C-alpha cells in the first residue's frame, strides 16, 4: 500500500472535505486554502462527482494545487466484490490519488478493493465506525461494535495502512488504534467529525499514540466567511499536536 508520505506529506494536518454541489464553490475552497500550512489534501464526494465527473473535479483542483485528491463515494464498499476493481479503475483513470471505502457488505468486497488498489497504485482508505448518533446497535442502529472492529482488523491484516476513524468518538479511538497496530506498524488515521459535529482535534489526536493523523474538516471551513482563516486555525492545532508529542 502507498506510504503516507507519498499521499499526505506531513505527519499531522487537515484534509478539506468539499461536500458542496457547485464547481465554482470547489474552486473557491481550493483557492482560499491551497497555501495554508498543514492542509495536506482535498476530499471530494459523490455530490460533485455525479454532477461534474471525476475528470472535471481533478482538473479544477490540479489547476490550482498538486495536493492529493481523495474520493469518498458515500459509501463505497456496500456492493458486490466485482464492483471494487471497476470503481478503482474509474478513480485511476480520473487521476484520483486515494479512495475511501466502508466495507459494510463484507470481507470479500473489502478484499476486492484492496487487491485492485494495490494493482493500480491507489491508496485505499478504510473506514468502519461513523460519526453520527444511532450508528451502533447499542445506540439503536444496525451494526454491532464487534462487526466494526472486525472491519478494521481485517483491513489491516490485508495491508491497508490508512483508516477513517471518528473524531466524535474519542473513547473508541484507542481501541481501534491498538487493534489496527497489531498488523500495521505505521498506520495513518483520517478523522471526520471535527468542527460542526463537535469533535475536537486535540482530544481525538491524544488517543492516537503519536501516529500520523489528519482531521477532515468540512463545513467548518467551506461554510465560513473566511475559509483561509478557519483552515489555518484547524491546521495549526493539528500541527501543534505533533510538536507537543515530539517535545515529550
* Rounded distance between C-alpha atoms, residue 126 and residue 212, angstroms: 15
* Rounded distance between C-alpha atoms, residue 95 and residue 69, angstroms: 8
pLDDT band at 4 (very low <50, low <70, confident <90, very high): very low
pLDDT band at 209 (very low <50, low <70, confident <90, very high): confident
* Rounded distance between C-alpha atoms, residue 133 and residue 29, angstroms: 28
More confident residue, 9 or 243: 9
Summarize the confidence of residues 144-159 as an average pLDDT: 96
Domain CATH code at residue 129? 3.20.20.70
**CA Rg, the chain, in Å?**
17
Question: At a CB cut-off of 8 Å and minimum separation 6, what does 206 contact?
Answer: 170, 241
Q: For residue 248, is pLDDT > 70?
A: no
Q: For residue 205, is pLDDT > 50?
A: yes
pTM: 0.91
Q: For residue 196, is pLDDT > 90?
A: no
Q: Give pLDDT, residue 241.
A: 78
Q: Give pLDDT, residue 247.
A: 38
Q: Give pLDDT, residue 6.
A: 54
Q: Quote the number of domains for the chain.
A: 1
Q: Give pLDDT, residue 3.
A: 42
* Rounded distance between C-alpha atoms, residue 38 and residue 11, angstroms: 9
* Rounded distance between C-alpha atoms, residue 87 and residue 205, angstroms: 31
Phi, psi torsion values for 15, nearest 5 degrees: -115, 130
- CA distances to 71, 103, 161, 165, 202 from 148, in Å: 22, 10, 17, 11, 24
Kindly report, residue by residue over 18-44, the tens digit of the pLDDT: 999 999 999 999 999 999 999 999 999
Domain coverage including residue 89: 4-247
pLDDT band at 2 (very low <50, low <70, confident <90, very high): very low
Q: For residue 150, is pLDDT > 80?
A: yes
Q: Give pLDDT, residue 9.
A: 83
Kindly report, residue by residue over 179-191, the tens digit of the pLDDT: 999 999 999 999 9
Amino acid at each position: 500500500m502507498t506510504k503516507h508520505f507519498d499521499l499526505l506529506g506531513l505527519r499531522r494536518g487537515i484534509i478539506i472535505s468539499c461536500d458542496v454541489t457547485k464547481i465554482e464553490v470547489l474552486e473557491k475552497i481550493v483557492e482560499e486554502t491551497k497555501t495554508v500550512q498543514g492542509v495536506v489534501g482535498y476530499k471530494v464526494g459523490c455530490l460533485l462527482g455525479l454532477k461534474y465527473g471525476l475528470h472535471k473535479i481533478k482538473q479544477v483542483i490540479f489547476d490550482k494545487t498538486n495536493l492529493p485528491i481523495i474520493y469518498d463515494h458515500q459509501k463505497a464498499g456496500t456492493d458486490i466484490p466485482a464492483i471494487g476493481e471497476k470503481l478503482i479503475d474509474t478513480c485511476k483513470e480520473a487521476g484520483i490519488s486515494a479512495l475511501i471505502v466502508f466495507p459494510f457488505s463484507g470481507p470479500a468486497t473489502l478484499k476486492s478493493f484492496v487487491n485492485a488498489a494495490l494493482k493500480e497504485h491507489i491508496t485505499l482508505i478504510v473506514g468502519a465506525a461513523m460519526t453520527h448518533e444511532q450508528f451502533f446497535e447499542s445506540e439503536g442502529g444496525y451494526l454491532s461494535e464487534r462487526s466494526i472492529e472486525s472491519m478494521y482488523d481485517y483491513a489491516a491484516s490485508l495491508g491497508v495502512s490508512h483508516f477513517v476513524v471518528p473524531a466524535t468518538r474519542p473513547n473508541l479511538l484507542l481501541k481501534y488504534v491498538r487493534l489496527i497496530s497489531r498488523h500495521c506498524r505505521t498506520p495513518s488515521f483520517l478523522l471526520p467529525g471535527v468542527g460542526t459535529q463537535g469533535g475536537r482535534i486535540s482530544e481525538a489526536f491524544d488517543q492516537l499514540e503519536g501516529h500520523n493523523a489528519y482531521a477532515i474538516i468540512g463545513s467548518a471551513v467551506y461554510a465560513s466567511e473566511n475559509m483561509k482563516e478557519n483552515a489555518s486555525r484547524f491546521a495549526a492545532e493539528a500541527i501543534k499536536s505533533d510538536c507537543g508529542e515530539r517535545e515529550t
